[in-house]
Amino acid sequence: MNISQSNDRTLVTTAAQLTLRLRRLDREIIAWCARNSLTLLRLSLGIVYVWFGTLKLFPGVSPIQGFIFEAMGFMPLEILYPLLAVWEVGVGLLFLSGKFPRLTIFLMLAQMVGAMSPLVLRPDLIFVNFPYQFTLVGQYIVKDIILISAALVLAAAVRKQGR
């Protein structure tokens, strides 16, 4: 065997070992994700809800307050806006606790009906050019699709876990 053949075998062996290590690492990462992703998703939703809800507890602090008052001006918002804030914080705390997952998801989805309602009630505040160009607030509202999808993933997991 000459030096060139020896180097080729060493490279092949090294590449095979590297491939095995990468596959093992991939399996470990996927296993970690399988063990932890639902918990991280639930905690993330909890943080978002507590954070956004808490901002609404302080007049003028939430960047969405003006929009809500403009879009939903036909409602008694001096009562409903603080109630919305408490509702969101409550949903967030329920997500963080992990208790009552079905109730938590139901309360979140009920809140989302209101959050998404300006798409129908006030599209003039959501779109610069319907149906493709959103206002900044429109983007804020449409991103709620991701939160709804996350809740549906958790709901499916709750069902699978028999909780």
Residue partners of 126: CB distance under 8 A and separation at least 6? 118, 119, 134, 135, 137, 138, 141
Q: What tens digit of pLDDT does each residue of 36-62 get? A: 999 999 999 999 999 999 999 999 999
Q: How far apart are CA 67 and CA 118, in angstroms?
A: 10
- Is a pLDDT exceeding 90 seen at residue 10? no
Q: How far apart are CA 3 and CA 31, in angstroms?
A: 42
SS3 of 122, please?
coil
Helix runs in 57-143, H state only: 65-71, 77-97, 101-116, 118-121, 136-142
Considering the entire predicted model, what is its pTM? 0.84
14-36 per-position pLDDT tens digit: 888 999 999 999 999 999 999 99
Give CA angle at 27 (26, 31), nearest 5°: 120
In this prediction, residues 82-86 reach a mean pLDDT of 97
Structure confidence at residue 14 (pLDDT): 86
